[in-house]
Amino acid sequence: MITGRRYQAVTIGCSAGGVHALGMILSALPKSFSLPIVVVCHVAAGGNGLLAELLAGDCMLPLKEAEEKEPILAGHVYVAPADYHLLVEDNHTFSLSMDPKVAYSRPSLDVLFESMAETYGENLIGIVLTGANEDGSHGLKTIREYGGVAIVQEPRSAYATIMPKAAIDIAGADFIEPLQTILSRLISLSEVML
């Protein structure tokens, strides 16, 4: 049950069309948004720092590329670096991995989502946006199995439908919404208290 819970973190994953989708959400978040947000977007291996730089320009929250052993701070946005899997440890710090690609991707949504589900349990909000492969569907399923909340972009509103459709088919979702209402959903969930 969603009511009466205090969420501790948000994770967002996307691929094709994801930079635009992320920009729409992150640029509209208020400075008062208090949950940390951890993002995986499939980017080219040589693109270190570029995604964070693109997104930081319009985001009112502190936004940066995640680093090894870095603590996760409230109200900050962290982006997975290119060509590394991003994981969250039990002590709420990041670790980076060069393990093989998952669903043809590194960083992988599945890897991040599963590690965050293990760390945050029912206090996690997972979001799958537009994308052109099935990465994230199994990770979102893990988030739901741990009691977290799953939000998926309505496939017909996505630039690429494969990722959100696979997430719905494999994981299901608590909310399936167009991009325009995901922001308000995220803000309302972040205000849910014990």
Annotated catalytic residue within 108, 135, 137, 157: 135
Side chain identity at residue 133, one-letter code: N
Annotated catalytic residue within 15, 108, 137, 157: 15
DSSP 68: T
- Does the active-site annotation cover 115? no
Query: What is the bridge-based pairing of β-strands 85-88 and 77-79?
Result: unpaired
Distance CA 171, CA 135 (A): 12
Nearest to 28 by CA among 53, 60, 3: 60
**The residue count for the chain:** 194
- Does the active-site annotation cover 76? no
Annotated catalytic residue within 42, 76, 85, 138: 42
Sheet holding 124-128, edge to edge: 63-65, 77-79, 37-41, 9-14, 124-128, 149-153, 175-177
Cα distances from 191 to residues 131, 167, 180, in angstroms, run: 28, 25, 19
Q: Which helix (H) or strand (E) holds 179?
A: helix 179-190
Nearest to 14 by CA among 175, 158, 146: 158
Residues with a known catalytic role: 15, 42, 135
